[in-house]
């Protein structure tokens, strides 16, 4: 009977150990399930936060793009206005210089004509000399 009693004790102890192992396994499974649920909830919260930040970033980028577009349009308008103003300024300046040049040419033409009328022989000599120089220059090319 001693063997039978020892066997029963061993079997009882094995059963107790098996029961303790099952309880520990259930407890570990519950803790793991709880931790996984908490982790999933944290991941959902982080995903929601990330999505909100992304949406905010998209709105900010859209506003920034609009602001840059408005600034570029404004700068382009300013450049066009400046170019128009500069064109008018340079056109006016060129017109004034052209008028002065025409007046000078007319004055020198009038003087040359008066000189030629007063000194026709010298005018013919100068004209012949200029013609000769021009012919020499043109022939050399």
Average pLDDT over residues 32-49: 90
Do 123 and 116 contact (CB within 8 A), yes or no? yes
> Dihedral, CA atoms, 27, 31, 37, 38, nearest 10 degrees?
160
What pLDDT is stored for residue 131 in this prediction?
87
Q: How confident is the model at residue 62 (pLDDT cuts 50, 70, 90)?
A: very high
What pLDDT is stored for residue 68 in this prediction?
93
Rounded CA separation 97/91 (Å): 10
Over residues 4-40, the pLDDT tens digits come to 888 888 888 889 888 888 998 899 989 989 988 899 9
Q: Which residues contact 123 (CB under 8 A, 6 or more apart)?
A: 115, 116
Q: What is the mean pLDDT of the chain?
A: 89
Closest CA to 111 of 103, 84, 140: 103
What pLDDT is stored for residue 57 in this prediction?
94
74 pLDDT above the threshold of 80:
yes
Over residues 109-128, the pLDDT tens digits come to 898 888 888 888 888 888 88
How many percent of the chain have pLDDT more than 70? 99
The reported pTM is: 0.43
Average pLDDT over residues 40-51: 91
Average pLDDT over residues 62-91: 92
């Amino acid at each position: 009977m001693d063997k039978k009693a020892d066997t029963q004790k061993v079997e009882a102890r094995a059963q107790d150990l098996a029961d303790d192992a099952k309880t520990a396994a259930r407890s570990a499974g519950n803790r793991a399930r709880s931790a996984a649920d908490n982790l999933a909830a944290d991941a959902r919260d982080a995903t929601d936060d990330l999505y909100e930040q992304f949406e905010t970033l998209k709105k900010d980028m859209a506003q920034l793009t609009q602001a840059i577009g408005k600034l570029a349009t404004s700068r382009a308008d300013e450049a066009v206005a400046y170019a128009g103003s500069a064109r008018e300024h340079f056109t006016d300046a060129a017109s004034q210089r052209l008028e002065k040049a025409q007046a000078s040419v007319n004055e020198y033409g009038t003087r040359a004509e008066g000189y030629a009328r007063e000194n026709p022989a010298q005018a013919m000599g100068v004209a012949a000399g200029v013609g000769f120089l021009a012919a020499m220059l043109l022939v050399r090319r």
